[in-house]
Amino acid sequence: MARQGQPRSGGQTKAERRLARAVRQGHVRKRASEPADSDGTPGRQDVEQRLERIEETLTEQAERSEQALARLNKAEKNARAAGRAWLESLRRSPEWAAAESMRRSLELRRANVVPVDQPLALICQAQRSGGTLLARLFDGHPQCHAHPHELHIGDRRPHVWPSLALDESPEAWFAKLEEERLALMFDKGKRQIPLKAAGERPEESYYPFLLPPAFQRLIFLQEVERRAPITSERQILDAYMTSLFNAWLDNQSLRGAEKRWVVAFSPRRAWGEGRERLFELYPDGRLISILRDPLSWFTSAQGRDPEADPEPLLELWKRSAQEMIGAKGRCGDRVFIMRFDELVRDTETTMRALSGFLGIDFDPVLVTPTFNGYPVGANSSYSVRTTGVLTDPVERHKDLLSDEQREWILGECDQLHKEALGIVDAKPTSARARGAPRKKPAQPRKTTKGASARSSGRSTTRKRSTATKR
């Protein structure tokens, strides 16, 4: 066995190994030659000198580390001092004062929330039937909360009601109800005229829409807590509507007269099982549907999407009319059907009838479409440059549809249209508007009907380019 300080068989001494490790780690430099004992191993004095050098090196490194740490501490103190100075400067700035003022205003808004527990009056039928117009007519009525856009809670397509399990968290409920379109409107504003027509567009004008999504979430969570324990989906929906209309900071109709309804438009949401779901969630709710002449509707629908297949388009109109007939038959006095033609030609008479159905006072604001009190234009498939109610859409099909298209559409829809006219609540005032019997159109031949349907999109596009009535 090797004695202490002597190399093991074929190896180095402990001191040599320590020195070699120090050299590898950079603590000392390797010297070209070292004095050795008579047997070739480093002497005791040499080892001690090496250890002293290692200790000196480690001491130097420790000092450098302490100096670096001191510099870091000084830099941190300087940064903190600079941050405090910057913060103090910011607090003295107008922007800070404005932010503080807004914070206090939001706290005051949260402390004085107006509960929105009213039942829902849902406008529902196929798109391109006047639903957006009708929703905007309710804007500003002192007895109604009018949704600022289409109701997009749940899955937007196909406009289905969300499933709100009572054992889910409030955050999960809000995630299912939050409407992305409202966040986009908060970011960009609301267009004065939707401008759906293709082609060159003039300079666009926007109205402000101050509904911060994060603030709406805070109010929703606050309302859920206030209403606890939550025992029904209706309570969750009421909390959501409360958060929407109260977080809408420039909402001009939040306060005032006692509210009777929340009015919103959502196409197809109350079809089939959706109608049952509506009255399950809102037993005190109402359903409002607009019946549009199939010729007028088809012209608008194809103008919105000229490349669309005509046959599925017409099937959508049929489904809408059948849903109205079914809703009126099953739900009776909870459903109101009106004609699009009468809505735009005799807006006041139609809205007086609808006011009576809802049990609210007729107000002059019901004849002018607005957004938060600002005038807006029609959500048309064609070029619109003015605000207000337009009558052009009623007769536009005469300029844009070919005789073959009209014959095909009437052959498919005329009987169903007459049946639906029989359930209309807002009755027309003229013989023509009452849907006087028309001369039965010639039925398209079976061999050409498909070709007619397939070519209708091209025909409409071609005729529209030469039409003088936009």
The CATH number of the domain holding residue 310 is 3.40.50
- Whole-angstrom CA distances from 117 to 128, 152, 187, 290, 369 are 30, 19, 28, 26, 25
Q: What is the pLDDT of residue 37?
A: 53
Distance, in Å, from the CA atom of 335 to the CA atom of 241, rounded to the nearest integer, reads 22
Domain-located, residue 76: no
Torsions phi, psi of 438, nearest 5? -95, 160
Domain-located, residue 105: no
CB atoms within 10 A of CB 394: 20
Q: Which domain holds residue 163?
A: 111-466
| Sign of the dihedral through C-alpha 224, 228, 233, 234 | negative
What contacts 154, CB < 8 A, 6 or more positions away?
A: 160, 161, 162, 176, 177
Distance, in Å, from the CA atom of 360 to the CA atom of 141, rounded to the nearest integer, reads 9
Domain-located, residue 354: yes
Please state whether 183 falls in left (phi above 0), alpha (psi between -120 and 50) or beta.
alpha
CB 248 within 8 Å of CB 254: yes
Torsions phi, psi of 462, nearest 5? -65, -45
pLDDT beneath 70: ranges in the chain? 1-12, 14-16, 19, 23-43, 90, 96, 156, 194-204, 382-385, 427-470
Domain-located, residue 92: no
Query: What kind and span of H or E run contains 93?
Result: none
Confidence (pTM): 0.73
Q: What is the pLDDT of residue 15?
A: 66
Domain-located, residue 299: yes
3-state secondary structure of 288: strand
Distance, in Å, from the CA atom of 15 to the CA atom of 218, rounded to the nearest integer, reads 69
CB 174 within 8 Å of CB 220: yes
Domain-located, residue 101: no
| Sign of the dihedral through C-alpha 451, 453, 459, 463 | positive
Structurally, how many domains does the chain consist of?
A: 1
